[in-house]
Chain A
Amino acid sequence: MSWLLFGLLAVLTLGGGLGVVATRNVVHAALFLLLSLTAVAGVYLVLFAEFLALVQILIYGGAIVIVVLFAVMLTRSSDYPRISDNRQWPLAVVAALGVLGVLAAAFMSRPSPVTRPQSPVFDELASSLFTRWAVPFEVASLVLLVALIGAIIIARASGNER
């Protein structure tokens, strides 16, 4: 059962990813990204990481794809199909395949542990997040705040704009 689910979700994930890098239409690319990210949430469920699956759907499906679609609408989307890929895309294929080969060799070279997937209960995760990981947690919130302010300042229309 978990093999079947994993195979299905892996096909959806990789198919969505290939759609993102293959299509010329930016809106289609964003929708392919949504497909891929939702399938990744399913992979998290196969791994018994329920909280991460929820976070994945909320943040990626709910927020990031919407923001990307807004950005596509605010720029002139009729321009996009004209923008083709690089001339050096064969080199990019070689580089990607090389990285894939190295990573796959590294992952296959050591046998995977036999322990069966297990998931922490929610309160274990939460208490760890707010005790041992409290300082990184606060830093992450600071990063979000700075990124928010920076994005507003960068995107705001200034008065002396042409």
Chain B
Amino acid sequence: MVPLTYFQLLSAALFAIGLYGVLARRSAVLIVLSIELMLNAVNINLIAAASHMDGVGRFSNFDGQIIAIFVITIAAAEVGLALAIILRMYRNRATVDVDEINLMKW
């Protein structure tokens, strides 16, 4: 059996890749994709902990899976909303480059 630490390291690596994407890309769609990578890293961590550990107190050992379901729900809502905003942005400014969207920049 693969120990929990390896799943956590996989999750940390995926999170770091997503973080790099969010910080370094300029196209708004690619930033949204990188955020998805980070959310998936969190889910791997949650589910690995849920299936490797026993329940503590009021929490049973599969509550992590249920929280992961909620994370997936929020991710779906976030993608829909983010892409709607990107479409509107594209229609108003004719670009998806976040460096050119500086209307609210102080």
Residues of chain A having any CB pair with chain B under 8 Å = 2-3, 6, 10, 13-14, 17-18, 20-21, 26, 29-30, 33, 36-37, 40, 43-44, 46-49, 51-52, 55-56, 59-60, 63-64, 67-68, 70-72, 74-76, 79-80, 83-86, 88-89, 91-93, 95-97, 99-100, 103-104, 107-108, 111-120, 124-125, 128-129, 133, 136, 140, 143-144, 147-148, 150-152, 154-155, 157, 161
Given A107-B5, A143-B73, does the pair A89, B62 have CB atoms closer than 8 Å?
A: no
Report the tally of A-B residue pairs with Cβ distances under 8 A.
Answer: 243
A–B Cβ pairs within 8 angstroms, 30 of them: A2-B1, A20-B30, A20-B34, A26-B29, A30-B33, A40-B43, A47-B7, A47-B48, A49-B50, A55-B69, A68-B79, A80-B96, A83-B27, A85-B24, A89-B23, A95-B23, A99-B12, A100-B15, A107-B5, A107-B8, A107-B9, A112-B52, A115-B52, A115-B54, A118-B61, A129-B69, A133-B63, A147-B78, A148-B80, A154-B88
Residues on B close to A: CB < 8 A? Answer: 1-10, 12-21, 23-27, 29-30, 32-34, 36-37, 40, 43-44, 47-48, 50-54, 60-63, 65-66, 68-70, 72-81, 83-88, 90-91, 95-97, 99
Report yes or no: B17 in contact with A21, Cβ–Cβ below 8 A: yes
Task: Tell me the bound Cα distance from A59 to B78 in angstroms.
Answer: 13
* Complex-state Cα separation, A40 to B18, whole angstroms: 14
Residue contact B76 to A144, C-beta cutoff 8 Å: yes
A111 to B52, CA, bound (A): 12
Top 9 A-B pairs, shortest CB-CB distance:
A92-B23, A147-B77, A103-B12, A112-B4, A151-B84, A100-B16, A21-B21, A96-B20, A92-B24
